[in-house]
Structure 1
Amino acid sequence: MFKNARLYRLDTPFPLDATELEERLGGRRFRPCGPVETATLGWAAPLGEDTAALVHAVSGCFLICARKQERLLPSAAVAEALDERVGELEAGEARDVGRAERRRLREQIINEMLPRAFTRSRRTLLYVDTEAGWLVLDAASEKQAEEIVSLLRETLESLPAKLPDPDKTPATVMTSWLLDGVAPADFVPADACELRDADDNSSVVRCSGQDLSSDEILNHMRAGKRATKLALEWDERLTFTLADDLSIKRLRVGDALLEDLDNEDLDPAMRLDAEFAILALQMRQLIARLDEVFGLAPRDLQ
């Protein structure tokens, strides 16, 4: 259900129940782009377009969904149309078109082309764990996560959520797990990692399908590189890649936890509900372990 997880700690208890949150989100419900809008962003039903509720509550966790729609207007097409328009003016009026006029022409062309442009939508799932005090987003990039957090903050008028600022440097800890073989018993390194030079961030080694205990890999770390991403299996329940900013990618729930979902009688909404219940519980326990290992004190958002 979630392929990624970006974590934000809540400074204070979440003040809304599911009904109140539903009402707040309803004020910013998603709507498609208008004819001359480049993008719109709002809240959509997390269990799919066939459902209406904007909040799905399970075990103290509120699942919500942000939807963004963008009009696809290739810059090359705009540039080509602009060149044609400028060429016609210069040839017809025997004069040069200046920068200010080119800018006005470009804006005019964009406004003419936008209503005919194709649209693309992206859904981003996130949930608030009101019991553990975390906000978790299925966002592949920091930029995407910050855009959704900003939307939630604007919708609620206040959201005391901060990125974790770990007491222990994750890259140092993960490097020690590999180099010294001291990973906790419930965190088992898999076969992929990213190693970067501490003094030269452009010097990077990416390994996949490798034995991370081999001398070939260890020698990179002995020479000064640090593990900035590491594929892990946690307690035979979750597999994922942990980055040095404590973001999680390639998140996958263990097959044993999903056996009960093989029932063909489950409709899509029921299956999503069951998947979320499993995911939220496992993530709550995983985040608690990451807090124990790294000390996830919050830091101010930029």
Structure 2
Amino acid sequence: MFKNARFFRLDQPFEFTAAELEEALGGRRFRPCGPIETATLGWTSPLGEETTALVQAVSGCYLICARRQERLLPSAAVAEALDERVSELEAGEARDVGRAERRRLREQIINEMLPRAFTRSRRTQLYLDTESGWLVVDSSSEKQAEEVVSLLRETLGSLPVRLPDPVRPAANVLTSWLLDESAPNDFVPGDACELRDVGEQAGVVRCSRQDLASEEILNHLRAGKQVTKLALEWDERLSFTLADDLSLKRLRVGEALLEELDGDDMDPAQRLDAEFAILALQVRQLIARLDEVFGLAPNSPAVPKTLASELDAPF
């Protein structure tokens, strides 16, 4: 379901029920761009446009989806039209067009071209884990994730969240895992990483399909580079690339966990529930493990012992 994960810590317990959250999101339901709008952003069904429900709830986790639509108006096309308009005015009226008039002409051209522009949509899934107190956003872009979090905050009126602020910097920990071969047994380094200088030069080395224990990689680390991204497999349950801001990319659930879904005769809603339950459980336990390794949030609540039994219940 999720290809990426950015974590935001909830500073307060999330008190909304699924029904209350559904009602709140309904006030900012997605609508397409109007004729002269450059973009719109709102909430849509995580199941797709065939359904209307805005919240999919599984054992204290609320899956929701934001949709952004924008009109594609190439700046080069606007600039070309503006140059033509300015040339016509200057030739026809024998005068120069000033900067302020050019701005007005540009706005006029954009308003004329917008209704004919193509549109493009982007969906961003996220979920609130009310049991462990984390918001998880499926986005590889920090800006995109912040935009969706801001939309949720505006929709609910308040949403105190913060990014992880690890006690032990992730780059230092990941570097020691490769340099000293000190990774915990449940974290197995893969074959890809990004190494970055800490000095002013900020040189970057990106490795893919490489033996990360090779002398070539170790020499970069001995020379002072730090690991800022590292491909990992966690406990044979999840694989991902962990960045130094503790975001995850290329997130994949282990095949063994998905085997139980093979061949099941489920409708789309049931299958989403099942996939979401597996994902939510594994990510919740991964966050708890990352908390142990990096110290994500002082005094963070422990993962409830009843979670596994709740999410493992038949669908």
Partner of 2:312: none
Partner of 1:85: 85
Distance 2:263 2:78 in 1: 51
Question: Where is the strand percentage greater, Structure 1 or Structure 2?
Answer: 1
- Classify 1:201/1:157 alpha carbon distance in 2 versus 1 (closer, same or farther; 3 Å): farther
**Residues 62-73 of structure 1: matches in 2 within 5 Å?**
62-73=62-73
Letter in 1 for 2:268: P
Give deviations 1:236-274, integer Å, cap 9, x for gaps.
000000000001000000111111222263333332222
Partner of 1:276: 276
Partner of 1:182: 182
Partner of 1:219: 219
Distance 2:240 2:188 in 1: 11
SS in 2 for 1:35: coil
Letter in 2 for 1:93: E
Partner of 1:155: 155
Partner of 2:290: 290
Distance 1:239 1:79 in 2: 45
Letter in 1 for 2:145: A
SS in 2 for 1:165: coil
**Residues 1-302 of structure 1: matches in 2 within 5 Å?**
1-200=1-200, 202-263=202-263, 265-297=265-297
Distance 2:201 2:112 in 1: 44
Q: TM-score, with normalisation over the residues of structure 1?
A: 0.97
Distance 2:238 2:216 in 1: 27
SS in 2 for 1:125: strand
Structure 2 unpaired stretches of 5+: 299-315
- Classify 1:236/1:201 alpha carbon distance in 2 versus 1 (closer, same or farther; 3 Å): farther
Deviation at 1:48, TM superposition (A): 1.1
Distance 2:221 2:200 in 1: 14
**Aligned residues with identical type, % of pairs:** 81
**Does structure 2 conserve the Cα–Cα contact (< 8 Å) formed by 1:170 and 1:244?**
yes
Structure 1 unpaired stretches of 5+: none
Structure 1 moving runs of 4+ over 6 Å: none
Distance 1:81 1:261 in 2: 55
Distance 1:2 1:153 in 2: 22
Letter in 1 for 2:26: G
**Does structure 2 conserve the Cα–Cα contact (< 8 Å) formed by 1:28 and 1:42?**
yes
**Does structure 2 conserve the Cα–Cα contact (< 8 Å) formed by 1:10 and 1:161?**
yes
**Does structure 2 conserve the Cα–Cα contact (< 8 Å) formed by 1:48 and 1:269?**
no
Deviation at 1:12, TM superposition (A): 1.1
**Does structure 2 conserve the Cα–Cα contact (< 8 Å) formed by 1:60 and 1:129?**
yes
SS in 2 for 1:241: strand
Distance 1:127 1:77 in 2: 39
Distance 1:296 1:198 in 2: 22
- Classify 1:116/1:264 alpha carbon distance in 2 versus 1 (closer, same or farther; 3 Å): farther
Distance 2:258 2:245 in 1: 29
Deviation at 1:184, TM superposition (A): 0.5
Letter in 1 for 2:288: A
Distance 1:270 1:72 in 2: 36
Distance 2:268 2:240 in 1: 25
Distance 1:51 1:41 in 2: 18
Letter in 1 for 2:249: K
The CA RMSD measured in Å over matched residues stands at 1.0
Q: TM-score, with normalisation over the residues of structure 2?
A: 0.93
